[in-house]
């Protein structure tokens, strides 16, 4: 199943969105968004791990072909803010 990584990332982003929209203050939302963007940069470290450590299924086989993929950036974004 090639889309399993993407599906789980979308579910994580839904959880992120629920938390984000449940925050009351604008400052808290701004901080959560800021931390998420900073943490998403960790997704750029994937070439260190692919394919030696793991080989995730990715859209358009980007991880296997380039070492980068969209899903890692989404995952890092979602996990960083939540």
> What pLDDT, on the 0 to 100 scale, is given for residue 2?
75
SS3 sequence of the chain: CCCHHHHHHHHHHHHHHHHHHHCCCHHHHHHHHHHHHHHHHHHHHHHHHCCCCCCCCCHHHHHHHHCCCHHHHHHHHHHHHC
pLDDT value, residue 33? 95
What is the dihedral sign for C-alpha 47, 49, 52, 56? negative
Q: What is the mean pLDDT of each run of 10 residues along the chain (82 residues)?
A: 86 95 95 95 85 78 80 91 76
Q: Which domain holds residue 37?
A: 4-81
Number of domains in the chain: 1
């Amino acid at each position: 199943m090639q889309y399993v990584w993407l599906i789980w990332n979308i579910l994580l982003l839904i959880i992120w969105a629920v938390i984000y929209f449940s925050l009351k203050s604008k400052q808290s939302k701004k901080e959560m968004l800021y931390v998420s963007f900073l943490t998403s940069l960790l997704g750029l470290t994937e070439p260190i791990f692919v394919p030696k450590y793991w080989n995730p299924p990715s859209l358009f086989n980007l991880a296997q072909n380039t070492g980068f993929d969209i899903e890692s950036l989404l995952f890092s974004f979602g996990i960083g803010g939540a």
